[in-house]
Structure 1
Amino acid sequence: MEAPRHDTRGIVDPSGLLNRVRFRRHEPAEPLRRYVEWYWLIDWDLPEPYASHVVPHPSVNLTFQWDEDEGPPYGEVTGVALGLYTRKLTGRGRVCGAKFRPGGFRPYAPEEPVSRWTGVALPAQEVFPQVTADTAREVVTPSDDAARVAALDAFLLALPRTPDPQADLATDLVARIRADRAVRRVGDFAHAQGLSVRALQRLFSTHVGVSPKWVLLRYRIHEALEQAAGHDDIDWATLAADLGYADQAHLVRDFTATVGVPPTAYAAEARAGR
């Protein structure tokens, strides 16, 4: 399995966020790596509120959070967010999260299709009754990362899992879509995998939570965000073609609908913040 990446893919205004918080990624214990892509830890101590925005990945997240001025630590399960995910950060706080691989959450909750959690955030104990009042505190209160990672490992290793070859297949197919820009059409991709479009759609709904077309479009927007934040003088027409759009207008439409501003405006703001 891949090690945690160091890019900021999906984060809107990454420099603005990273100037305000401490953000780290860590690998889970080896037996968990087929299910969990990485752990992500954020700590902040802010003089004024800040709204963090993320164009989410096709992943379910289990988080343990502590907003120190607002109450005790708590756990939350967040399904794939269809739109822009916004989290307001105030005062002092911490989040310790497990980002499941696309397909990786299903073995932990095999009674429901992963689409059951899409667009939903709910208390962790509603999905995992094993979460107690002490669980979140044991994860987020240690001062060092190693202890937090160890607590996440201990919790997830103790949870029952149902091995599912179809979940492994879904994980592999999403990874191929992410890595291969030549994947342009769902029908062609399904055919190349020896599947009907309907079978591919059922697989993704059950094990990923969103459709293969949604995954394909989301990774296009991630790439456009990454390019806009890190490069000057972008040829948007060429980028649109590279990402498989019919023309620049379609890229502009999808980017604006997802991020909230046109790509040229976002790129200008990113340059100003660098």
Structure 2
Amino acid sequence: MRQQPRGDSRGILDPRRLLRDVRFRRRLPAAALRPYVEHYWLIDWELAEPFEQRVLPHPAVNVVFQRGGDGRETAEVAGVGRELFRITLTGTGGVSGVQFRPGGFRPFWRRPVAGLTGGRRPLAAGVVAGRRPCAGTDDERCAALDDLLLAWGPRPDPSTVEAMALAEEIRVDRGVLRVDDLARRHGTTTRRLQRLFLDQVGVGPKWVIRRYRVQEAIEQAAGGPVDWAALAGDLGYADQAHLVREFTAAIGISPTAYARSLSRPASVR
């Protein structure tokens, strides 16, 4: 079992600016929740000027609590986002979020997760039940999230376990490039994997493969100079042009333009 949350910046555009301009940290949930929850993410800000953050979402559901400058909290379930997510933070506020593992929200939701994909909906007041996950110290906020999720009473099944394992395999193994290859590796069919992922994860396995590969390309670009032709081959693209097209479609600018944007002074962003 993990003892620390993941430290990568996959999906976060311009992670250095995020860490500079707001307080961002990750925490692990209670041990009983770790089979389902990737991490909690906490953000607090006190800004003199608006701050825009862009994220290319993971193939995962998030539950998000936000505290505004007036102290009021809102709560919502965010399904897997297909498009680039943008949010502009102003003034003072905070967020406490739960990023589930791909497939990990199904035991809490208890119905096909594809119904949430691409959308956001308010979390029922009865689920929150007076808890305030954006109030107090980090430990208190995480304890409130633990309490809420444990009270929700997740109901796992073998399909959930299988979907989470397959999604994790896609994330960590660059050799997973095609759905039919993944199906053969596990002695099943592409159609069954499609049904399984839509029900448990919310998107199909091909989408998960491509999203993780684009996220890795973004992370590589943020880390320094990149040999794009070599990276395209490593990530399973037919050639550099295919990577460039998919990267550009995902975040709106080309890989080289994104890499250049990271080196500009903050005043000209």
Residue 55 of structure 2: aligned partner: 54
Give the 5 Å matches for 1:90-129: 90-110=90-110, 112-125=111-124, 129=126
Q: CA deviation at 1:191?
A: 1.0
SS of 1:19 mapped into structure 2 = helix
The letter of the residue matching 2:158 is P
Deviation track 1:33-86 (CA, whole Å, cap 9, x = no partner) reads 1111110000011111111100010110011111215x6111110000001011
Does residue 229 of structure 2 align to residue 237 of structure 1? Answer: yes
Q: CA deviation at 1:4?
A: 1.2
SS of 1:140 mapped into structure 2 = coil
SS of 1:12 mapped into structure 2 = coil
Cα distance in 2 between the residues matched to 1:273 and 1:256: 22
The letter of the residue matching 1:154 is D
- Quick one: structure 1 residues 51 and 24, their matched pair in 2 at CA, closer, same or farther if it must change by over 3 Å? same
SS of 1:169 mapped into structure 2 = helix
For the 8 Å contact 1:107–1:167, the answer to whether it is kept is yes
SS of 1:119 mapped into structure 2 = coil
- Given candidates 118, 124, 128, the residue that maps to 1:131 is 128
Cα distance in 2 between the residues matched to 1:117 and 1:27: 24
- Quick one: structure 1 residues 238 and 273, their matched pair in 2 at CA, closer, same or farther if it must change by over 3 Å? farther
Does residue 61 of structure 2 align to residue 24 of structure 1? Answer: no
Residue 262 of structure 1: aligned partner: 254
Cα distance in 2 between the residues matched to 1:15 and 1:238: 25
Q: Could you state the TM-score of these two structures normalised by the residue count of structure 2?
A: 0.95
The letter of the residue matching 1:139 is P
Residue 198 of structure 1: aligned partner: 191
Residue 4 of structure 1: aligned partner: 5
For the 8 Å contact 1:15–1:273, the answer to whether it is kept is no
Deviation track 1:169-225 (CA, whole Å, cap 9, x = no partner) reads 100000000111111111011111111000000000000000101000001111100
SS of 1:77 mapped into structure 2 = strand
Cα distance in 2 between the residues matched to 1:271 and 1:98: 31
Residue 141 of structure 1: aligned partner: 135
Q: CA deviation at 1:273?
A: 5.2
For the 8 Å contact 1:229–1:271, the answer to whether it is kept is no
SS of 2:128 mapped into structure 1 = coil
Deviation track 1:137-169 (CA, whole Å, cap 9, x = no partner) reads x21121x10111111111111112212111111
Cα distance in 2 between the residues matched to 1:183 and 1:219: 11
Cα distance in 2 between the residues matched to 1:204 and 1:107: 14
- Quick one: structure 1 residues 184 and 273, their matched pair in 2 at CA, closer, same or farther if it must change by over 3 Å? farther
Residue 72 of structure 1: aligned partner: 72
| % identical equivalent positions | 53
Cα RMSD, aligned residues only: 1.4
Residue 151 of structure 1: aligned partner: 144
Cα distance in 1 between the residues matched to 2:239 and 2:55: 25
Unaligned runs of 5+ in 1: none
For the 8 Å contact 1:96–1:140, the answer to whether it is kept is yes
Deviation track 1:214-247 (CA, whole Å, cap 9, x = no partner) reads 0000011111001101112x21111101100001
SS of 1:175 mapped into structure 2 = helix
Q: CA deviation at 1:16?
A: 1.7
Does residue 232 of structure 2 align to residue 247 of structure 1? Answer: no
Unaligned runs of 5+ in 2: none
Cα distance in 2 between the residues matched to 1:62 and 1:52: 18
Q: CA deviation at 1:6?
A: 1.0
Residue 227 of structure 1: aligned partner: 220
The letter of the residue matching 2:114 is S
Q: CA deviation at 1:14?
A: 1.0
